[in-house]
Structure 1
Amino acid sequence: MSKLEIIDLHVSVSTEDGPKEILKGVTLTIDADETHAIMGPNGSGKSTLAYSVAGHPKYTVTGGQVLLDGEDVLEMSVDERARAGLFLAMQYPVEVPGVSVSNFLRTAKTAIDGEAPKLRTWVKDVNGALDRLNLDPTFGQRSVNEGFSGGEKKRHEIAQLELLDPKVAILDETDSGLDIDALKIVSDGVNRFREREGRGVLLITHYTRILRYIKPDRVHVFVDGKVAESGGPELADALEAEGYDKYLKSAV
């Protein structure tokens, strides 16, 4: 069973005018078997939260804690965070020319588990994951994200999620740029992961459409680097109808 606790997290980035605070005291707890959605306008700090938890060097944590099953994530290197059970699906997955998808996946699985997967079962697992995400078996021979469509990039991220099997998945705008068919395929993949015992999901999105397929337990409104309001799934419906205006006005 897993629990991710984000406690009074403050994060800054360097600018030409000096450090700028982006996260201004974020507190969230994602228990095992829970899915939390973070919604908010552009520039509110949603992606900063995702990258800070994952350990991106661009972001400086100036206060607070991030605990995974009681262990201090902020004291870990990026690879240690992955081995501990954190996973980040990026909003803009990067291209890795010359590295095939199949080699990338096997190398990642070996690094996380500490031993190489059995080749025969691994090939079956990879082909199964790709098939469930409507990706051709030859997809494994392509260079990671090179020449991929937006939908292929996001489906590849979910294939990683399925095969690497983390404790907590942070999905940063996984619905961005997807047509309705790709959105359903990606959502099905996330839901398969959620069915595994003890898994947690933090889903960052602008729009409610993905929440029609991935039902959150909690919804958080993110404005000006902090949580402005939290509630159940009905909060997403209210945001769809009313937008973020009242939160933006109160943040001024």
Structure 2
Amino acid sequence: MADELLQIKNLHAGVEGKEILKGVDLTIRNGEVHVILGPNGSGKSTLMNVIMGHPGYEMTGGSLVFEGTDIGEMRAFERARRGLFLAFQTPEEIPGITVENMIRTSRQMMTGEKVKLLPFRKELNAMMAELRIDPNYAQRYLNVGFSGGEKKRSEVLQLLMLRPKLALLDETDSGLDVDAVQIVSEGVAKFHTEDNACLIITHNAKILDKLKVDYVHVLAQGRMVHEGGSELIQQISAEGFTNILAGLDKVG
């Protein structure tokens, strides 16, 4: 059995005093790809932010254990150093910091080792070419003036260059055209190996085309209410959540 990478037990969390997650359990092992589906407002993005340690969200109960260490009290940068990576639904623009400097500095912080400029720049340029990103963007401020698709490809570039242990992808495919989704899908597939894992929120199954999905979870009303294999994606695409969620209000 593959090693456990992240173990979430009875996780309760919310924002501004409002409870959103109401007892989430989830285990992710090395080599696995997990997909989370659910209606709007079910707590999917909240779960991602809580795992990453976003200071705007409060964890009020349960545990988050990453590679055997409880990370529940760690700050976001400490979790990033340990190998967590969150690709945002809407990537932020950061004036004053170039794409190249951000990625190079982040790698140094993660590894604790100095990153030599010329080999790094060669690797970065090769990766940008694979993702069809204009090489001049390496010297532009992070996401400033980027289109939606360019921002998402920039996120995947960071993922590939930083090589985290667990990639949290929060609707990385949202707002993208067909070609851009294909590029992002190929990038995520290039990242994924038996030594890392992916947790993906998506409304577009196309981003999963290049990946072998191991588990699909349905999150509703702050709880995991259903689980299955990749076939569940097609079922929900065809039928929606109605059958899965039938009777949930009575049970809850």
TM score, norm. by length of structure 1 = 0.94
SS state at 1:124 partner:
helix
Residue 240 (structure 1) shift: 0.7
Corresponding position of 1:54:
52
Residue 76 (structure 1) shift: 1.5
Residue 110 (structure 1) shift: 1.2
Report if aligned partners of 1:89, 1:171 keep a CA contact under 8 Å in 2.
Answer: yes
SS state at 1:74 partner:
coil
SS state at 2:224 partner:
strand
- Root-mean-square deviation (CA, aligned residues, Å) is 1.3
Q: Deviations over 1:112-155 (max 9, x none)?
A: 11122121210111111111110011010111111111111111
TM score, norm. by length of structure 2 = 0.94
Alignment-mate amino acid for residue 114 of structure 1: G
SS state at 1:229 partner:
strand
* 1:104-183 → structure 2 map (5 Å cutoff): 104-183=102-181
Report if aligned partners of 2:4, 2:27 keep a CA contact under 8 Å in 1.
Answer: no
Residue 109 (structure 1) shift: 1.1
* 1:239-250 → structure 2 map (5 Å cutoff): 239-250=236-247
- The 4+ residue runs of structure 1 with deviation greater than 6 A are none
Q: Deviations over 1:60-82 (max 9, x none)?
A: 10111111111111121211101
Structure 2 gaps, min length 5: none
* 1:31-46 → structure 2 map (5 Å cutoff): 31-46=29-44
Report if aligned partners of 2:39, 2:241 keep a CA contact under 8 Å in 1.
Answer: yes
Of 227, 230, 235, 2:227 maps to: 230
Q: Tell me the distance in 2 between the aligned counterparts of 1:35 and 1:158.
A: 16
Corresponding position of 2:13:
11
Corresponding position of 1:198:
195
Q: Tell me the distance in 1 between the aligned counterparts of 2:88 and 2:4.
A: 21
Q: Tell me the distance in 2 between the aligned counterparts of 1:207 and 1:185.
A: 14
SS state at 2:133 partner:
coil
Q: Deviations over 1:221-248 (max 9, x none)?
A: 1111111100100111110111012344
Alignment-mate amino acid for residue 77 of structure 1: R
Report if aligned partners of 1:221, 1:230 keep a CA contact under 8 Å in 2.
Answer: yes
Percent of aligned pairs with the same amino acid: 50
Report if aligned partners of 1:2, 1:168 keep a CA contact under 8 Å in 2.
Answer: no
Report if aligned partners of 1:54, 1:81 keep a CA contact under 8 Å in 2.
Answer: yes
Q: How many residues align?
A: 247
